[in-house]
Amino acid sequence: MASEAADFTLSAILPDKSYLFLFFNDEILVNKQEGLTPIPTVYDIMHLNRIEPADLQYIGTFSGNQYFAVKITNKETFAEFTFLKLRNAAETITEKYGALAFRAFHILNWLKTNKFCGCCGHATKVAAQTQEFAIKCPACDHIVYPRISPAIIVAVIKEDNILLAHSSRFPAGRYSVLAGFAEPGETLEDCVRREIREEVAIEVADIRYFGSQPWPFPDSLMIAFIARYASGQITVDNNEIITADWFPATSLPQIPAKGSISRQLIDWFVEQNSNI
């Protein structure tokens, strides 16, 4: 996908062809009226005098529509729009807009942490007229692409039960499947085995790919697997994992909201065991 610096004026953009992902911290502005396009057009936010054309970052053109993103430092009040936590917006915005919103949030965070060249220290710029999104140092020509950190997430199945754990990062009572980042030189399958072993001290087998999901908090790509319990007794590490246990489909604890691939794994398990 070609990318370029946003060197346009707001009035030069066709309102019906341009949409804006507007973020306040980790919240996104969406249309709160049911049945309408959930993402505001650039025309919708033209009255925000604090947003300059140079602040807008071009995200891409999809289905004939241009998409831009910007972060603001103060919340604005809108009659038809409201701010939602991006993590919780999956049920409000469609799959297409959700993917684009994740892309926008990821890119904005990446640009924020790559303002200067890691080789020579010179200020960087978004690379113009390239086939891939990147930033380039005008002094030494060093090119940096968006950082993507691969992480596994896995549903471990033991007979008719799924392994769920409460992490120290979760709200009280929340359980989910286990996850962790891949290390250098490690296959994703080896990562699954290591993370499960480190966090709950059990061994798994029959590791199968399930799916994937971008997770820009700040830059993860979640690769989901299903694995079969092989041996061992649950012993939590008391660091990342506070408690863990086996749960049947009919007696699950509080689980993540729909939209995340962790919930997709759990929903798959429930569906597989709905007739048991």
Q: What pLDDT, in 10s, does the model give residues 138-185?
A: 999 999 999 999 999 999 999 999 999 999 999 999 999 999 999 999
- pLDDT, position 221: 97
pLDDT at 158: 98
The parts of the chain modelled with pLDDT lower than 50 are 1-9, 11, 13-15
Task: For residues 139 and 136, give the distance between their C-alpha atoms in angstroms, rounded to a whole number.
Answer: 9
If you write DSSP's letter for every residue of 109-153 in order, what string do you get?
HHHHT-SB-TTT-PBPEEPPSBSS--EE-TTT--EEPPP-EEEEE
* Tokens read off for 189: 């399958």
Q: Residue 62 CA to chain centroid, in angstroms? A: 19
pLDDT of residue 52: 62
d(CA 189, CA 118): 32
Mode of pairing for the β-strands spanning 57-62 and 125-126: unpaired
pLDDT given at position 77? 75
What confidence score (pLDDT) does residue 48 get? Answer: 62
Nearest-10 Cα torsion for 5, 7, 9, 14: -50
Supply angle C-alpha 184, 163, 267, rounded to 5. 100
Write down the pLDDT at residue 276: 56
Which one-letter amino acid corresponds to residue 141? Answer: D
In the chain, which residues fall in CATH 3.90.79.10? 10-112, 149-272
Fold of 149-272: Nucleoside Triphosphate Pyrophosphohydrolase (3.90.79)
Task: Give the closest residue to 217 by CA, choosing from 114, 112, 102, 115.
Answer: 102
Would you state the pLDDT for residue 9? Answer: 47
Q: How many CB atoms lie within 10 A of CB 147?
A: 13
What superfamily would CATH give domain 10-112?
Nucleoside Triphosphate Pyrophosphohydrolase (3.90.79.10)
Q: pLDDT value at position 80?
A: 80
Query: What is the Cα gyration radius of the chain?
Result: 21
Q: Enumerate the β-bridge partners of residue 258.
A: none
CB 167 within 8 A of CB 176: yes
Could you tell me if 227 and 157 are in contact, meaning their C-beta atoms sit under 8 angstroms apart? yes
SS3 state at 29: strand
| pTM score of the predicted model | 0.86
Q: What is the pLDDT of residue 35?
A: 63
